[in-house]
Amino acid sequence: MTLRTYGWVQNPSDFSKLKLVVQIFDSTTKHYENLRKKLVRTLIPFEDIKNNLISKLDKNVEEFSYLELVGTSKDNNGRSPKKRSDAVADALIQITILPQNANTSGKRWTDNWTSDGYLRWALSLNFIKHDRNTDICSITQLGKAFSQSENKSDKETEILRKALLSYPPATQVLNILENSSSPVTKFTIGNQLGFSGEKGFTSYDEQLMLDWFKNGTNEEQKKIKSDIEGTSDKYARMIASWLHKVGFVDKLSTSVETRNGVKSGFQLFSINARGSHALKQAHGSSKNLRVKKYFTWEFLAVGGENRDYIRSRRAYILNFLKQTSSFKQLLKKLRQIGFDDDEQIIKNDIQGLINFGIRIDQTGNKITLRDSFSDISIPELNLTNELRNAALDKQKVNFINKTGLPMKYIELLEIAFDGSRNRDFEMVTADLFKNVYGFNSILLGGGRKPDGLIFTDRFGVIIDTKAYGNGYSKSIGQEDEMVRYIEDNQLRDSNRNSVEWWKNFDEKIESENFYFMWISSKFIGQFSDQLQSTSDRTNTKGAALNVEQLLLGAAAARDGKLDINSLPIYMNNKEILWSGDFS
């Protein structure tokens, strides 16, 4: 059995290329004929792969394995390429999709990563189906209709609209836009899309991103616009662009006054009359009129070591909601088949399924499923506790119950220990300081600047966030960086640092009321020496804050048990431990 991930798409956006991918599975099309007569023979250099594909195409075969479709990344010698441009074609989708630079480079095939994205897209819109037992893909009835529709015809548009109205994340995006009083950015959409609080569904705060954009260098502004977004924000951007192409959503450009003059800002999206009408029709007033939602088990989680356990739990929740509207009965049914997760986890799953695009109403103990869909095929897996990170689950439940914070912040317990997600750690921490603690919070993005700043009109703190799997230990290099930031702020000399990032602080803060802080998963070894040394070198006090204390402090500030103006009291060149301070 091969378990893959699809249902969520980040990059493909060209419907004409999507159609060509679907036509790989339709032997009556011109593209299929082109594959058979020309493309496979001329673009795939490996004789064994070429002969296998030609043999199938000559027999009008209309189903192919994932490997035959997506292929691998290798050079002419069959080895891993030293650089991406050395990779050659070895699969059907690779030779179907022309790269963007085809006219200038002469290259007539794409890479396996792009190929995988287009296959996921076709699977997500129910044009192609995947057999997880054989890893074989084939065309659906809807896919056949799409394949055979005339390009750019009304029929093609009708099919694409139908597919999108059946795709839960697309209807969720439409629903978000329908309920927005004004056009919104991808960040606003992303914050309400998918399974917040787990890997693969991070969204960045819109105001933080806008402030960062306003204060960034020209290079940073380009990067912020093109490359810095949460995964949910990427999904939001792509889905909104598809909905725009079928006429359901309008795009609006914005202009922003920045330190580098007026710049084009983040694109805005709004639902139009056609989209609003289509959404109402899709939801329908009765089961007979309602558009049936299409999704599979694979849609229900995208990452993390608990992925398959979570997919199955959510699939069973949806299947059981067809049988009962009682939350207590739902819990009982889940317990009977071995899902003994905390009640709060199940509630979070239900909220995640709503944000996925399944309409579920909750009133007290009553849960009403308002969408129709086929029973979900759930693979038979040995979903024992050994297959999920029980310790992390337990920690998350503990902090959910202890703090009541939204799952997007609870996810920091996981992000902080993942070095590959340092950007997410910076973003969500800055978001927490702004929207829960209540500080003024500014992202700066590192480089010749700190990661961020928090401040009131009384004091300011220079923030450095570090995501480390095994904890943060003493580092002379990082101490030197912090010393440089502190001295930049003390001297405020544009010749020393032309970026002048310190201007983001409130101008009323007196010079002796600035501090420094490191935030990480946990602090190990002689980290206290780094705090004291940094203080001695700059005559400035600071502190360290681990991720658990970060969350506990946020909950206390929200509940009025911690006055954020008292933070300087804790700046004693030690790790902050709130325990006992909030009773």
Rounded Cα distance, 575 and 542, in Å: 9
Average pLDDT over residues 143-149: 98
Among 5-9, 342-346, 383-387, 406-410, the minimum mean pLDDT is found in 383-387
Q: Mean pLDDT, the chain, as a whole number? A: 93
Residue 563 annotated among the catalytic residues of the structure: no
Non-local (6+) Cβ contacts of 66 within 8 A are 2, 4, 119, 130, 135, 136, 137
Closest by CA position to 123, among listed 32, 17, 22: 22
**pLDDT tens by residue, 392-429:** 788 889 999 999 999 999 999 999 999 999 999 999 99
| Per-residue tokens: 431 | 């978001």
Residue 466 annotated among the catalytic residues of the structure: yes
pLDDT the model gives residue 76: 83
Structural domains of the chain, ranges and CATH numbers in brackets:
15-148 (3.90.241.10), 166-283 (3.90.241.10), 297-388 (1.10.10.10), 394-575 (3.40.91.30)
pLDDT the model gives residue 5: 87
Helix, strand, coil in percent for the chain, rounding step 5: 50, 10, 40
Q: Is 249 exposed, middle or buried (0-12, 13-18, 19+ CB in 10 A)?
A: buried
What is residue 567's DSSP assignment? G
Band (386; pLDDT cuts 50, 70, 90): very low
Check whether 581 has a pLDDT greater than 90. no
**pLDDT tens by residue, 489-535:** 999 999 999 889 999 999 999 999 999 999 999 999 999 999 999 99
Check whether 556 has a pLDDT greater than 50. yes
pLDDT the model gives residue 583: 56
H or E stretch covering 45: none
Q: Which residues pair with 128 in a beta bridge?
A: 139
pLDDT the model gives residue 381: 82
Check whether 218 has a pLDDT greater than 80. yes
Average pLDDT over residues 224-248: 96
pLDDT the model gives residue 235: 97
Rounded Cα distance, 382 and 380, in Å: 7
Question: Catalytic residue among 250, 341, 371, 451, which?
Answer: 451
Average pLDDT over residues 81-109: 83
| Per-residue tokens: 341 | 């997760």
Closest by CA position to 454, among listed 508, 517, 500, 499: 517
Non-local (6+) Cβ contacts of 402 within 8 A are 552, 555
Nearest 5°: phi and psi at 443? Answer: -90, 135
Among 81-85, 238-242, 546-550, the minimum mean pLDDT is found in 81-85
Average pLDDT over residues 133-158: 97
Band (580; pLDDT cuts 50, 70, 90): low
Residue 26 annotated among the catalytic residues of the structure: no
Closest by CA position to 142, among listed 161, 155, 126, 130: 126
Average pLDDT over residues 27-45: 96
Non-local (6+) Cβ contacts of 277 within 8 A are none
357: left (phi over 0), alpha (psi -120 to 50) or beta: left
More confident residue, 271 or 447: 271
Average pLDDT over residues 557-576: 96
Among 226-230, 508-512, 578-582, the minimum mean pLDDT is found in 578-582
Taking the chain, what is the end-to-end CA distance rounded to the nearest angstrom? 53
Band (68; pLDDT cuts 50, 70, 90): very high
What is residue 78's DSSP assignment? S
Q: Is 84 exposed, middle or buried (0-12, 13-18, 19+ CB in 10 A)?
A: exposed
Check whether 385 has a pLDDT greater than 70. no
Average pLDDT over residues 353-379: 94
78: left (phi over 0), alpha (psi -120 to 50) or beta: left
Rounded Cα distance, 373 and 358, in Å: 9
Check whether 387 has a pLDDT greater than 60. no
Rounded Cα distance, 37 and 25, in Å: 16
Please give the share of the chain, as a percent, with pLDDT higher than 70.
96
Per DSSP, the residues of 376-423 read PP-------GGGS-HHHHHHHHHHHHHH---HHHHTHHHHTT-GGGHH
Q: Contact at 8 Å (CB) between 18 and 5?
A: no
Rounded Cα distance, 228 and 443, in Å: 12
Please give the share of the chain, as a percent, with pLDDT higher than 90.
82
Closest by CA position to 240, among listed 291, 293, 172: 172
Rounded Cα distance, 368 and 354, in Å: 12
Nearest 5°: phi and psi at 416? Answer: -60, -25
Check whether 106 has a pLDDT greater than 80. no
**pLDDT tens by residue, 263-300:** 999 999 999 999 999 999 999 866 657 899 999 999 99
Closest by CA position to 213, among listed 269, 254, 181, 270: 254
How would you write 457-516 as a 3-class SS string?
A: CCCEEEEEEECCCCCECCCHHHHHHHHHHHHHHHHCCCCCCCCCHHHHCCCCCCHHHEEE
pLDDT the model gives residue 530: 96
The DSSP bridge pattern shows strands 542-546 and 574-575 to be parallel
Question: Catalytic residue among 466, 488, 522, 541, which?
Answer: 466
Q: Contact at 8 Å (CB) between 137 and 123?
A: yes
More confident residue, 190 or 286: 190
Q: Contact at 8 Å (CB) between 472 and 521?
A: yes
Rounded Cα distance, 337 and 63, in Å: 35
Check whether 77 has a pLDDT greater than 90. no
Question: Catalytic residue among 90, 250, 464, 488, which?
Answer: 464
